[in-house]
Amino acid sequence: MYLTEEKIEKLEKKANDIRQSIIEMLVEAGSGHTAGSLGMADIFTLFYFHALKHNPKNPSWEDRDRLVLSNGHICPVLYATMAHSGYFPIEELKTLRKAGTRLQGHPHREYLPFIENSSGPLGEGLSQAVGMALADKLDGKENDRFIYCFMSDGELDEGNTWEGMMLAGKHKLRNLIAIVDRNNIQLSGNTEDIMPLESLVGKWRAFNWHVIEVSGHNFHALNEAIEEAQSIAEKPTVIIANTIPGKGVKEFERDFHWHGKAPTKKEGEMALKELKINRPE
């Protein structure tokens, strides 16, 4: 999984393109979640264009890795990344949240079978991923693929998450890798004001997880974190990825008000102009 500087440059450009698609689809929909979608674009790009074992031409490939999105409200980044990697036409992104679309406001597996789970109620994704990882272990397939679970830090307020963490630690699910989007915001404020999570590293370790903390915008460091996680043999791993919500658009960055609202047409034009100016060449 070695990353060359040339590959990193391509990933940076692709992440910028995906951010532009996110803005365009949110403006068209008139609703949706901006901050987390933009903040996770680098991580999604790294996975779908480098780290994840998958095949857009054969989405049901049995040996593929599983990617469970727990914080389903950031589905614009999931849809945009999947479209750019070839699962469906990029033009379909403009149907986000519209009547009859496959691209629901929260992912629905019945409508979009390319995804691994339906999500909406927060806190459920890790338990779903634990079930997949445990099933593979019982079937003797724990070395064949990895189960990845993308999560938000705000959803760690949910008790169900900690039950899943405890079960995974008990069964030493080395094929399970969680990625926490540590952007420090949630719907109504900053996480540390609403329900303090620190010491987050210490909490995960107490549940018998291997913990890696890394920048969520450094492709090289993220890739190394994934490689380290894949090498751990006796326990599950969590990668706590420190991200900037709204990344790429200064007016949106680190502002919790952008957690759950979409840009207006004027705000979208401003955002796209900034992203195009800052696109790596």
Tens digit of pLDDT for each residue in 210-242? Answer: 999 999 999 999 999 999 999 999 999 999 999
What pLDDT, on the 0 to 100 scale, is given for residue 86? 97
Identify the band that residue 61 occupies on the pLDDT scale cut at 50, 70 and 90. Answer: very high
In degrees rounded to 5, what are phi and psi of residue 178? -100, 145
The answer on pLDDT for 141 being more than 80 is yes
pLDDT > 70 in the chain, percent: 100
Q: Determine how many CB atoms are found less than 10 A away from the CB of residue 278.
A: 12
Average pLDDT, the chain: 97
CB within 8 Å of 277: residues ≥ 6 apart: none
Query: In this predicted structure, what is the pLDDT of residue 109?
Result: 94
For residue range 66-99, what is the model confidence (pLDDT) as tens digits?
999 999 999 999 999 999 999 999 999 999 999 9
CA distances from 184 to 35, 49, 119, 194 (A): 11, 26, 21, 10
**CA-angle at 239, arms to 205 and 242, nearest 5°:** 110
What's the confidence (pLDDT) of residue 253? 98
153-164 per-position pLDDT tens digit: 999 999 999 999
* Whether pLDDT at 281 is above 90: no
Radius of gyration of the chain (CA): 18
Q: Going from the N-terminus, what domains does the chain have, and what CATH number goes with each? A: 5-277 (3.40.50.970)
pTM summary value:
0.97
Distance CA 14, CA 90 (A): 13
Can you give the pLDDT at residue 153? 98
